[in-house]
Amino acid sequence: MTLETYENLLVEVRDSVGLITINRPQVLNALNVATLRELHLAVDALDARSDIHGIILTGAGPKAFVAGADIEHLSSLSTPAAYEFSRLGGTLMRRIETASKPVIAAVNGFALGGGCELALACDFIIASSKAKFGQPEVNLGVIPGFGGTQRLARLLGKNLTRFLVYTGDIVRADWALEKGLCAEVVAPEQLLERCFAVVATISQKGPLAVSYAKRVIQDGFDLPLDAALEMEAMAFSQLFSTSDMREGTTAFLEKRKADFKGV
């Protein structure tokens, strides 16, 4: 089912999964202001729907997920405008991170600069074997501006992040898998099928539990351990007031499939 029409995106719902395709293949799906704003609107719309179990982000065409920010646009920015552009991208990345539903990056090709940052903001990355990742902003005399220096460091550690950001090197999918940047690497023709299958697996679990787990993992990561453990305990206990928890435990004891309602 196709939803609202966007200038730079294709958005549809298929098998209770929201699929957002960045549709600017003529510029390798580069991110400009309009595309960032449309992505925010599309994530908002899909995340608000109770019939959707997850969201997949991908890029149109065989070459790129997102090859970066629109360089023509970047080259014209003043210092204040560059700050606003960075903030706009950063706001989108936080919206993806705080979505109540899991968001999967289906990286089908180049994920560079802002494209790598977009993928990093998703819950996890499933990549085509042809995918390539990098933060090559130093080649333009700038640094990542949508959170790349921070999310990459939290995922890979400071040493590897320094290496990637300082050199601007572009790395292959197998390297990204080895270092933990992506969760899986699959053949290009299997990429979307695998992403849909993962969302289908998640959809069989308690939706409130998945949502709470996402929030605790995200928000607790930067807290001191004791504070993060307290957050986990609070979330764990709050789920005991839900019908889903009672249904899940009852179904387990009765040796049947749980029928979760999200309440």
Domains located in the chain, CATH noted: 9-203 (3.90.226.10), 207-253 (1.10.12.10)
Residue with tokens 């764990």: 236
Task: Kindly indicate the confidence band of residue 46, based on its pLDDT and cuts at 50, 70 and 90.
Answer: very high
Catalytic residue among 12, 84, 137, 193: 137
Contact yes or no for 51/3 (Cβ under 8 A): no
Catalytic status, residue 117:
yes
Per-residue pLDDT band at 158 (split at 50, 70, 90): very high
Confidence at residue 70, expressed as pLDDT on a 0 to 100 scale: 83
**Are the C-beta atoms of residues 122 and 96 closer than 8 Å to each other?**
yes
Catalytic residue among 117, 230, 247, 254: 117
Q: Facing residues of 112 across strands?
A: 134
Q: What are 127's strand-pairing partners?
A: 107, 185
DSSP state of 26: G
Q: Report whether 128 contacts 110 (CB < 8 A).
A: no
122-145 pLDDT, tens digit per residue, is: 999 999 999 999 999 999 999 999
What values do phi and psi take at 223, rounded to 5?
-85, 155
Contact 99, 47 (CB under 8 A): yes
Residues 114/89, Cβ–Cβ less than 8 Å: yes
pTM above 0.85, yes or no: yes
152 in Cβ contact with 135 (< 8 Å)? yes
For the segment 229-249, what is each residue's pLDDT rounded down to a tens digit? Answer: 999 999 999 999 999 999 999
Tell how strand 17-22 and strand 54-59 pair up.
parallel
